[in-house]
Amino acid sequence: MTTVVTYGTFDLFHIGHVRLLKRLHSLGDRLVVGLSSDEFNTVKGKNVVIPYEDRKEILLSCRYVDGVFQENCWEQKRDDLEREGADIFAMGDDWIGKFDDLQDIVKVVYLPRTQDVSTTELKTVINQVYDEKLREVRNVASHLNTLIEKL
C-alpha cells in the first residue's frame, strides 16, 4: 500500500482543493493530510475563515482523503512522515525545492496548482463584495439622514 502525505490549510474549500486532493490520491492507495492548526496559521501570517475542526470535517468528508492529522509547526514533517509510513510527500509547485531534504525518507513530488482559483483570490473577491455592500449601506444611511434632517 502506497501512502501519500500532504499539508495545507484548506480554508474556504474550493474546486482547486478538490482537484489537488484527487491528483494526490491518484499517486497512491492512501492519502493523509497534515492540516494546519489555527494557531500555526497565525504564525504563518494567515487569517483563516473556517476553524480547524470544521476544516478537518470537510477534508474527512472528501472521498480522496483517508485521514487528517494536525500540523502545529514546520519542524514536525519528518516525524509525521515516518509515523504515517509515507512513501510519497507531495505539495503544490509553489513549494518547489522547500522539502527536498526529506528525500532521504520519502519520494518528494511537487504538483502544479489549479489555474485561476485560490483561497487568496476568493478572499479578495469576498472582501471586494463586502466593501461594495458597505458603501451601499453607508449611502443609504446618508440618504436617510438627509431625509430625516429635512423633516
CATH of the domain at 45: 3.40.50.620
- Give the side-chain half-sphere CA count within 13 A for 28: 22
The strand pair at 88-92 and 3-8 is best described as parallel
Quick one: 23 and 81 in the same domain?
Answer: yes
Please confirm, yes or no, whether 150 is among the known catalytic residues. no
4 pairs with which residues across the strands? 31, 88
Are 126 and 71 contained in the same domain? no
Kindly name the residue from 46, 56, 98, 150 that is annotated as catalytic: 46
Q: Stretch 127-148: mean pLDDT, rounded?
A: 79
> Look-up: residue for cell 507531495?
90
Shared-domain flag, residues 35 and 55: yes
Q: Say which of 22, 44, 98, 133 is annotated catalytic.
A: 44
Question: 121 or 145, which is more confident?
Answer: 145
User: Mean pLDDT over all residues of the chain?
Assistant: 90
Range of the domain at 74: 3-113
User: Looking at the structure, do residues 56 and 102 belong to the same domain, yes or no?
Assistant: yes
Q: Which three cell numbers stand for residue 43?
A: 504564525
Q: Are 28 and 133 in contact (CB under 8 A)?
A: no
107-134 mean pLDDT: 75
Give the dihedral sign, CA 83/86/91/96. Answer: positive
Number of domains making up the chain: 2
pTM: 0.78
- How many CB atoms within 10 Å of residue 44? 10
**Active site annotation includes 44:** yes
